[in-house]
Amino acid sequence: MRALAAIAAKELRDGLRNRWALSIALGLAVLALVIAWFGPAASGKVGFASLGATVVSLASLAVFLVPLVALLLGYEAVVGEAERGTLLLLLAYPVSRGLLLAGKFAGHALLLAAAVAVGLGGAALALAATGAAEAEGFWPAFARLVGSTVLLGWAFLALAYALSAGAREKGRAAALALAAWLGLVLVYDLVLLGALVAAAGRIPAWLFEALLVANPADAFRVLNLGGEAAKEALGGLGGVARGAALSPALLVAVLLAWTALLLGLAFWRFVRRPV
Amino acid sequence: MSELLAIRGAEVRFGPVAALRGLDLSVRAGEVVGLLGHNGAGKTTTMKLALGLLRPQSGSVRLLGADPAGPEGCRARARVGFLPENVSFYEMLTGREVLRYLARLKGRPAAEADRLLEQMGLAHAADRRVRTWSKGMRQRLGLAQALLGRPALLLLDEPTVGLDPMATAELYATIGRLRAAGAGVVLCSHVLAGIERHIDRCVIVGHGRVLAAGTLEELRARARLPIRVRVRGRWSEPPLQGLGEGEGVVARRINGHQLELDVAPERKLAVLRALASEPGVEDLDVRPPGLETLYAHFDAMLHRGPHGEGA
């Protein structure tokens, strides 16, 4: 366990030292504030409008940004060490591949969680300073947003690990990560909505729900856009999702399951990887 | 445990390419084994096999009595030091941070990392990022990490590459101390010059097979290569009478007062006696075949085919 802590601590320190975590947290906070503040501009005013609208806006921001950030953080995890030549050295130590993977993931997961918490939390504090916190359920809504965003990030971090563990070269892992982001965050939703419209209600509810949880980004969307606070501000899939019988607990479990599954895949590929 | 490392009949294939074809290697406590062969002979594959990074398709590998690819072997690696060929580190960390990190992975205190930095003469640069270090310094850092935890078995892949003559001498001195303390050492090298004084046994590999193994004396006895004798003196007629030229002795005149003889091992003493009793002979220089000559001999047998062994 000391070795696991040492590996995790190194990843954490690397991320703090190269200011990765700081830039992500700052970027997230600034974007969150801009969106929360100017989001209602279309309706003719600026400033904190309603909790529901703010949470929906921030969730939409998070679902684009956080998967990308997580993929960029994790795509080098295995293939980067292999290309640098340090993987051969580390594996000659009394460290199993599983431990190495778990330690690196723990460090990256903490780093990502800290960046998200500081970024979104910072935005929440800034909004609270303008009096927005008086809205009922402000803090619980933000806590839920931060928590679900962290889970979203972890699922995509695990995906990045799975890609990294199987990739021959760093460039290939990066290309796959980018393709995964495009596919899961942008294309999947469009195709799903399109199919829904084209089928004109002939898609059974269970299939639709299964398709929603088959993508961690959509599980996150349903979790946040289907929530009580978001009922008043719906759009796209959120409206459809409201009718779906997917409880928040189930969606959280789905995000955790994706993380575990993809991390398992990363381990499976890493063990088979020639050094 | 008598054998620190025991590889028996190991075969490793990468797709259609056979990297090892029935390789045997055994290392005992307190001995330095030279694993010699040119690039692509299978030296690095053998190291990976010993560390459990590869599994043989057939044959067996025991590292400190355990299967290196299993969980016991993973624990056994705490007592093994490995210096990879062309070792590389985290460029953005300082030397001290790198070595302390690796020490923690081996369950060793940070103070041991600091002591090794001192011992390797790296203390002055320890707090600079490795990115700014020279090749020789990185190599010494590589050696320092291999020495973490006083290993019972040390696997060194081309350890002298990038080292200046002084650092090379220090490396051999360190290896000598470890051997005296009971450690076993595998020294992989394709640079043969100067290595023979530092190894107890050599294993010459080529094309994934052991071409020859044994002490230098054993290899000489097997190769039956001639001994070179240089004769210097004053003579009008070269002192070749009674040496049996043509029967295990080949002579070359270098100049008017120097002669070079290639003498078959079993004729050595007779030739030396005859030469010593020649009044004109002033000096004799006797040179048994060196490691480079032996290596060339066994390597050439490989190219003559698998049946060349009996020659």
Q: What is the mean pLDDT of residues A99-125?
A: 95
Interchain CB distance below 8 Å, B102 and A93? yes
Residue B215 shares a structural domain with residue B235: no
Domain endpoint, select from B220, B245, B271: B220
| A contacts of B75 (beta carbons < 8 Å) | 94
Residue B191 shares a structural domain with residue B149: yes
DSSP of chain A, one letter per residue? -HHHHHHHHHHHHHHHHTTHHHHHHHHHHHHHHHHHHHGGGGGT--S---HHHHHHHHHHHHHHHHHHHHHHHHTTTTHHHHHHTHHHHHHTSS--HHHHHHHHHHHHHHHHHHHHHHHHHHHHHHHHHTTGGGSTTHHHHHHHHHHHHHHHHHHHHHHHHHHHHH-SSHHHHHHHHHHHHIIIIIIHHHHHHHHHHHHTT-S-HHHHHHHHHTSHHHHHHHHHHSSGGGTTS--THHHHHHHS---HHHHHHHHHHHHHHHHHHHHHHHHT---
Residue B131 shares a structural domain with residue B267: no
pLDDT digits (tens, 9 = 90+) for A167-222: 999 999 999 999 999 999 999 989 988 888 888 778 888 888 888 889 999 999 98
Q: Is the confidence at residue B308, as pLDDT, over 60? A: no
Report the distance separating Cα B159 and Cα A248, nearest Å.
58
Contact of B274 with chain A, judged by CB distance below 8 Å, is answered with no
Split at pLDDT 50, 70, 90, the class of A71 is very high
Domain membership of residue B122 (yes or no) is yes
Interchain CB distance below 8 Å, A10 and B107? no
Mutate to test the interface with A, among B55, B86, B102, B105 (most CBs of A within 10 A): B105
Domain membership of residue B51 (yes or no) is yes
pLDDT digits (tens, 9 = 90+) for B90-117: 999 999 999 999 999 999 999 999 999 9
Which residue in A has a C-alpha nearest to residue B155's C-alpha?
A92
Mutate to test the interface with B, among A4, A88, A90 (most CBs of B within 10 A): A88
Interchain CB distance below 8 Å, A94 and B102? no
Q: What is the mean pLDDT of residues B130-152?
A: 94
pLDDT digits (tens, 9 = 90+) for B194-234: 788 899 999 999 888 899 999 988 998 888 899 999 999 98
How far away is chain A from the Cα of B113, in angstroms, using its nearest Cα? 15
How far away is chain B from the Cα of A269, in angstroms, using its nearest Cα? 15
Report the distance separating Cα A187 and Cα A194, nearest Å.
10
Task: Specify the pLDDT at position B54.
Answer: 92
Domain membership of residue B43 (yes or no) is yes
Residue B279 shares a structural domain with residue B196: no
Residue B44 shares a structural domain with residue B89: yes
Task: Specify the pLDDT at position A240.
Answer: 53
Domain that residue B272 falls in: 226-287
Task: Specify the pLDDT at position A110.
Answer: 97
| B contacts of A96 (beta carbons < 8 Å) | 71, 74
Domain membership of residue B72 (yes or no) is yes
| A contacts of B19 (beta carbons < 8 Å) | none
Residue B137 shares a structural domain with residue B167: yes
Contact of B51 with chain A, judged by CB distance below 8 Å, is answered with yes
Residue B195 shares a structural domain with residue B282: no
Residue B206 shares a structural domain with residue B256: no
Between A40-54, A93-107, A202-216, B242-256, the lowest mean confidence (pLDDT) is in A40-54
B38 CB neighbour count, 10 Å cutoff: 11
Could you say which of A7, A85, A94 has the minimum Cβ distance to residue B75? Answer: A94
Contact of B105 with chain A, judged by CB distance below 8 Å, is answered with yes
Task: Specify the pLDDT at position B75.
Answer: 92
ipTM greater than cut 0.90: no
Split at pLDDT 50, 70, 90, the class of A245 is low
| A contacts of B53 (beta carbons < 8 Å) | 88, 91-92, 275
Between A241-245, B68-72, B231-235, B291-295, the lowest mean confidence (pLDDT) is in A241-245
Split at pLDDT 50, 70, 90, the class of A37 is confident
Split at pLDDT 50, 70, 90, the class of B1 is low
The contacts of residue A46 (CB under 8 Å, 6+ apart) are A37, A38, A40
| In chain A, domain spans | 2-128+135-271
Contact of B53 with chain A, judged by CB distance below 8 Å, is answered with yes
Q: Is the confidence at residue A232, as pLDDT, over 90? A: no
pLDDT digits (tens, 9 = 90+) for B257-277: 899 999 998 888 989 988 888
Domain membership of residue B10 (yes or no) is yes
Q: Is the confidence at residue A233, as pLDDT, over 80? A: no
What percent of chain B lies above the pLDDT cut of 90?
A: 60
Contact map slice: B 221-240 vs A, CB within 8 A: none
Residue B161 shares a structural domain with residue B270: no
Split at pLDDT 50, 70, 90, the class of B145 is very high
Could you say which of A2, A85, A88 has the minimum Cβ distance to residue B104? Answer: A2
Q: How many structural domains are present in chain B?
A: 2
CATH of the domain at B281: 3.30.70.250
Which residue in A has a C-alpha nearest to residue B45's C-alpha?
A275
Q: What is the mean pLDDT of residues B24-53?
A: 92
Residue B197 shares a structural domain with residue B261: no
Q: What is the mean pLDDT of residues A125-138?
A: 83
Interchain CB distance below 8 Å, B53 and A17? no
Contact of B82 with chain A, judged by CB distance below 8 Å, is answered with yes
What mean pLDDT, rounded, does chain A reach? 88
pLDDT digits (tens, 9 = 90+) for B165-198: 888 898 999 999 999 999 999 999 887 877 888 9
| A contacts of B48 (beta carbons < 8 Å) | 275
Interchain CB distance below 8 Å, B106 and A10? no
Interchain CB distance below 8 Å, B104 and A17? no
Contact of B66 with chain A, judged by CB distance below 8 Å, is answered with no
Residue B177 shares a structural domain with residue B40: yes
Interchain CB distance below 8 Å, A6 and B84? no
CATH of the domain at B83: 3.40.50.300
Report the distance separating Cα B200 and Cα A74, nearest Å.
47
Q: Is the confidence at residue A224, as pLDDT, over 90? A: no
For chains A and B, what is the number of CB pairs under 8 angstroms?
64
| B contacts of A2 (beta carbons < 8 Å) | 104, 107
Residue B90 shares a structural domain with residue B232: no
Q: Is the confidence at residue B245, as pLDDT, over 90? A: no
Higher-confidence residue of B160 and A163: namely A163
